[in-house]
Structure 1
Amino acid sequence: MSPEESPERPSDGRTRTDALGSGVAATARGLRTAATATGRASRATVRRARQAAGAQGAERSGLNRLIELHASNAAGDSAFAIALAGTIFFAGATSGERGPVLLFLGLTMVPFAIVAPLIGPFLDRFSHGRRWAIGSTFALRAFLCWVLAGTINDGSPWFYVSALGVLVSSKAYGVAKAAAVPRLLPEEITLMKANGRVALSGVVGAAVSAPLAGGAYLLGPEWACRYAFLVFCLGTVAAILLPARVDASAGELSIDEPRTTATGKRRVGLPPRVSFALRANCGPRLLSGFLTMFMTFVLATEPLKGWESTTRSTLLVGLVIGAAGLGNTLGIVVASLARRIEPRIMVVVALLADIAALVVATLFYSLLPLMALGLTVGLMQYLAKVSLDSTIQTDVPVRAHASAFAKGDTTLQIAWVIGGFLGVVLSYPAVNDLGLGFAAALLGVWAALVLRSAPQRGRRPRTAASGRVA
C-alpha cells in the first residue's frame, strides 16, 4: 500500500463513525418528533372528545361528566370481558360443548331474577346519595376484579361468586345511570339523543380500553383483571364527583307503590306506554339471545358450503355475530345523531323489522342474508332499548325511575336468557333446520300479542326532569 493511501484510513474510519452517529441522532430526533406528534394528537383527540361531550349545553348541565363516566364504565366492563375470554362461557361455545353454556345461562339469569328487582327500590330510596350509589357499583366491581385476579386460574368457587357479582354490579350501574340522565338533561337536546350520546361514549371507551386489556391479557388473564381494577377505581372517584343534581330527593317511592291516575283510579306497576314498550322490547332481546347461541353452534358444527375448514368456520361465526355488533354500534350512532325518533313507533318497527329479516334468512339461508339478519338484530335491539329508556324517563315520575329501569332491565335480561336457551336447544343437528323458522313464528305470535295490547294514543306526558317531551 502506498504511503499516500495510509493517511486516508483513519479518515475513512472517522467518516463511518460520524455517519453512524449522525444516523443514530437522526433516528432519535425522528422518535422524539413522532412521540411529540403522537402526544399532541392524543391530547387533541381527548380535547375534541371532551368538547363533543360538552356540546349543546351538556357541559353546562353536567351531562358531559356522566358521558365521560360511562366511557370509564365501558372500559372496565370490556377489560372484565376480555379477562374471562378463556373461562366457562367462551371455552364452551368455541369447543361446541353446550353443557357449560347452559350452565352459564342459568347462572346469569338467577342473580338478575332474584337481585335485580331489589336494586331499583333500593336506589329509589337512597336519599341524597345517588352519586355514592353509582360510585359503589364501581368500587364493588374494583374489589371483585381484584379477587378474580387471584382466583381466575385455580377454579375456586370465589371465581363464580366474583364474576356474578361484577355482572350484577354492572346492571345496578346501568339502572342508576339511566335514572340520572333526565336530571342532567340540557334544554338543547332530547332524552333520546342524550341516551344515544351516553351510549356512544361507551363504544369509544370500550374501543380504547380493549387493546390495553388485550395487552394485559397476554401476560395472563389475572393482569387483565388488575387492569379492570384500576379502571373501576378511577370510575369510583369520577362517580362521586358527578354534579349534585344527580342526587335524588328525599322520600322517593317505588314504582310498585300505588299511584293515582288521571281518572282517579289507584294503579300499581308501570304506566301503559312503558308496559307496551317493554313488551315490544322483549321480542328483539329474545331474538338477540337466540341468534347469538344458535348461530354460534350451528355455524361451527355445520358451516355453509365452502366454509368447512376450522379457520373459515370460525371466521363465518365472526362475520354473522360481528354483524350484530356492528348493527348495535350503528344504532348508537343513529340515536345520538337523529333529530327525533318517536319511541312508541320505533319499538314496533324494531319488532317487525326483526321478523322480516328472520323470514328472509330462513328462505334464503346463505352468508349475506345471515349477516343482514345479524345487522338488523343489533340495530333494532339498540333502537328499541333506547326508545324504552326514553319512554320510562318521560312517563315515569322521577322518584320512581330506578325501580322502573330495574324492572325493565330484569325483564329484558330474562328474555335474552330464554332466547339463549332456545338457541342452544334448537342448535342440535336433529332440529337445527327448524331453528330460524321457529324463531320467526314465535316472534310473529309475540308481535300480534304486543300490537293487540297497544295503549290508545292520547296526550303525550312531559318529562318530570325538564317538562319537555322526549
Structure 2
Amino acid sequence: MSVPPGDPSRPARGAGNGVPPRPTAPDTAAHDLPPTTPTPAAKTAGRRAAHAFRVGAARTGRVVGRGTLAGARLAGRGSRAGARRARAYTHSAGAGESGLARLVELHFVNLMGDAALTVSLAGTIFAIPTDEARGQVAQFLVLTMAPFALLAPFIGPLLDRFRHGRRWAIGTTLALRAFLCWVLAGAVANDSPWLFPAALGCLVASKAYGVTRASAVPRLLPPGFSLVNANSRNALAGVAGMAVGGGLAGAAARVGPEWSLRLAFVIYVVGTVLAIRLPSRVDSSTGEQDIEDTGPLPVPRRDGRRLGLVQRLQARVAALPVTVLTALCSAIGARLLTGFLTLFMAFLMREHPLPGHSGTFVLALVVGAAGTGNALGTVVGNALRQLRPDLIIAVALIADVLAALAAALFYSLTTLLVLGLVAGLGAQLIKLSSDAVVQRDIDETVRTRVFAWSETVLQIAWVVGGGIGIAIPLIPRLGFGVISALLLLVLAASVRIRMTRHHRPHPTPAPGSM
C-alpha cells in the first residue's frame, strides 16, 4: 500500500534507508546572490558588438549627412535654376534695359509682403467675435479709406508736379507698411487697440502702392512692348510672390503670428530699397499733358486758375473715348465684386459656415479658386490677344453677373467655388483688356495719366465693394443678391454709355498698340 506524501509513518529520505538526502534550496533571495563573473570570451564578444554598433552608427550618420547635403545641393540648384529662368524671363524683350524688370521684381517682393501680412492677420483680426470684428473693421474702413478716396484723384497730378516723386511715393507706401507691420507685431502680442488701425493702414498703403506703381509702368515699357504684356509679367510675378511669401509666413506663424509680421517687415524694407533704386525714367513726365485738356469740354478757368474738382472730373470724363469709358465702367464692376467677396466671405464663413464644412476650409477653397482664376486670367488674356478687348471685357462682366446670381439662387460650396474662380478670372481679363483699350485709344501724351487715374478709380471701387460686404447682414442669399444687382447696374451702365455716346468722334489709335 502506498503511503501518501507527508505521512509521518513514511521514513525520511536518507534516514537510514540507503538513499542520499535531497539538497534543499538555500533560504536566500535571488538578488542576494553574488554576481556571476563574465568569462574572457564574453568580454571579447561584448567589445566587438559595441565596436560594430559604433562603426555602423558612424556610417549611417555619414550616409544620412551626405544624403541631406546632396538633397540641399539639389534643392539649391533647382531654386537657383528657377531663379535664373525667372530672371531671364523678366529681363527678356528689352525689359532689363528699360527698367521694367526692376519694377516686376519689386512687385514680386511687394506681393510677398502682402501674402505674409495676410497670413499673419488670418488668426488675429478674424479670430475675435464676428460682431465685434465687423463693427471695428467698418469703423476703421471709413476712417482710413475716406481720406484716401477724397485725396486719390490728386495723387497722380501731385506726383507729376514733383520730380523724383514716383520712386519715393512707391517707396513710402512700402516703408509705411514695414513700420505698421512692426507695430502690428507688438499689437498682436499685447492685444493692443492699435491692431485694427495698423492693419487697415496697411490696406490703405497697399492701395496707394497700386496707384503709384500703375503710373510708373508705362514709363518703363521697352520699344514695341505693349501695356498688356507688361501687366501680364507683373501679374505672374505677383502670383509667384504670394506663393513664396505665404509659404514663408506660414512657417514663421507656427512660432507665433508676431514672427510672420516681423518677416513681412523685413520683406517690405527690401521692397523700399528696390523702389528707390528704380530707374530715373519713372519720374519723367516729358511730353505729357492732362487728358481733360484734350477733350471737347475744356477745363473752365477763372483768373488763370482751374475751378473745382467737379468741373475737372466732368471735363476728364468728356475727354475719354467711349471705348475707354465703357472698359473703365466694366472694370469698376469687377473690382466691386472682388472687394465684396473678400470681406463678406471672411465674416460669413465665421458666423454661417456651410453645413458639414468648416468655415475656414471653405474660405481657403474660395480664396484658392480666386487666385487660380487670377493666374488663369493672365494666361488666357495672353492667348486671346487676337480678339477684340472690348468683346473680352463684355463677356467677362456677363460671366461675373451670372456667377453672382448662381451663388444667390443656389447657395452651395460648388457655386461659391465657381464664383471665386470666375471673379478672379474676370477681374484679370478685364484689367488686361482695359489696359489694351487704353493703349489702343489714348494718345501717348496723356496715356500715363489716364492709366494712373483709372487705377485710382478701381482702387476706390474695391474699397466700396469691401464696405458693402461689411455693411449688409450676413445672409448669404441677400449678400450675393445685392452684389448681383450692382453688377447688373454696372452692365446696364456700360451698355448705355456705348449707346448714348457712339456719335462722339473716335480718336486715332496710338501706334504700337494691340
Identity %: 46
Cα 1:80–1:393 change in 2 (3 A) is: farther
Q: Does 1:193 align with 2:193?
A: no
Q: Which runs of 5+ in 2 are unaligned?
A: 1-37, 300-314
Letter in 2 for 1:20: A
What's the offset of the Cα at 1:47? 0.8
Q: How does 1:336-415 map to 2 (within 5 A)?
A: 336=382, 338-340=384-386, 342-396=388-442, 403-415=449-461
Q: After superposition, what is the alpha-carbon deviation per residue over 1:83-119, rounded to whole angstroms, capped at 9, x for unaligned?
A: 333444x235867964234335424532321332232
Cα 1:162–1:102 change in 2 (3 A) is: closer
Match of 1:275 in 2: 325
Is the 1:93–1:296 contact (alpha carbons within 8 Å) kept by the matching residues of 2?
no
What's the offset of the Cα at 1:403? 4.8
Q: Does 1:320 align with 2:356?
A: no
Letter in 1 for 2:145: M
Q: Does 1:146 align with 2:182?
A: yes
Equivalent of 1:448 in 492, 495, 506:
492
Q: Which moved more, 1:450-459 or 1:197-206?
A: 450-459
Please give the alpha-carbon distance, in whole angstroms, between the structure 1 residues aligned to 2:462 and 2:365: 21
Is the 2:184–2:199 contact (alpha carbons within 8 Å) kept by the matching residues of 1?
yes
Letter in 1 for 2:112: A
Match of 1:168 in 2: 204
Q: Which moved more, 1:235-244 or 1:411-420?
A: 411-420
Q: After superposition, what is the alpha-carbon deviation per residue over 1:144-173, rounded to whole angstroms, capped at 9, x for unaligned?
A: 333433444445565555444433332232
SS of residue matched to 1:314: helix
Is the 1:121–1:253 contact (alpha carbons within 8 Å) kept by the matching residues of 2?
no
Is the 2:144–2:201 contact (alpha carbons within 8 Å) kept by the matching residues of 1?
no
Match of 1:260 in 2: 294
Match of 1:73 in 2: 110
Is the 1:299–1:313 contact (alpha carbons within 8 Å) kept by the matching residues of 2?
yes
Equivalent of 1:122 in 153, 158, 161:
158
Letter in 1 for 2:100: L
Cα 1:433–1:83 change in 2 (3 A) is: closer
Match of 1:416 in 2: 462
Letter in 2 for 1:130: R
Letter in 2 for 1:231: I
Q: Which moved more, 1:209-218 or 1:4-13?
A: 4-13
SS of residue matched to 2:316: coil
TM-score, reference length from structure 1 = 0.84
Is the 2:215–2:452 contact (alpha carbons within 8 Å) kept by the matching residues of 1?
no
Is the 1:127–1:252 contact (alpha carbons within 8 Å) kept by the matching residues of 2?
no
Cα 1:77–1:442 change in 2 (3 A) is: closer
Match of 1:209 in 2: 245
SS of residue matched to 1:266: coil
Please give the alpha-carbon distance, in whole angstroms, between the structure 2 residues aligned to 1:11 and 1:92: 63
Letter in 2 for 1:450: S
Is the 2:207–2:459 contact (alpha carbons within 8 Å) kept by the matching residues of 1?
no
Q: Does 1:83 align with 2:120?
A: yes
Q: After superposition, what is the alpha-carbon deviation per residue over 1:295-316, rounded to whole angstroms, capped at 9, x for unaligned?
A: 4455554444xx34xx534323
Match of 1:134 in 2: 170
Cα 1:425–1:80 change in 2 (3 A) is: closer
Alignment size in residue pairs: 456
What's the offset of the Cα at 1:74? 0.9
Match of 1:50 in 2: 87
Cα 1:107–1:346 change in 2 (3 A) is: farther
Is the 1:358–1:373 contact (alpha carbons within 8 Å) kept by the matching residues of 2?
yes
SS of residue matched to 2:92: coil
Q: Which runs of 5+ in 1 are unaligned?
A: none
Is the 2:120–2:260 contact (alpha carbons within 8 Å) kept by the matching residues of 1?
yes
Cα 1:118–1:48 change in 2 (3 A) is: same
What's the offset of the Cα at 1:382? 1.9
The CA RMSD measured in Å over matched residues stands at 3.2
Equivalent of 1:183 in 190, 206, 219:
219
Please give the alpha-carbon distance, in whole angstroms, between the structure 2 residues aligned to 1:418 and 1:299: 21
What's the offset of the Cα at 1:373? 1.9
Please give the alpha-carbon distance, in whole angstroms, between the structure 1 residues aligned to 2:179 and 2:367: 32
Is the 2:110–2:271 contact (alpha carbons within 8 Å) kept by the matching residues of 1?
yes
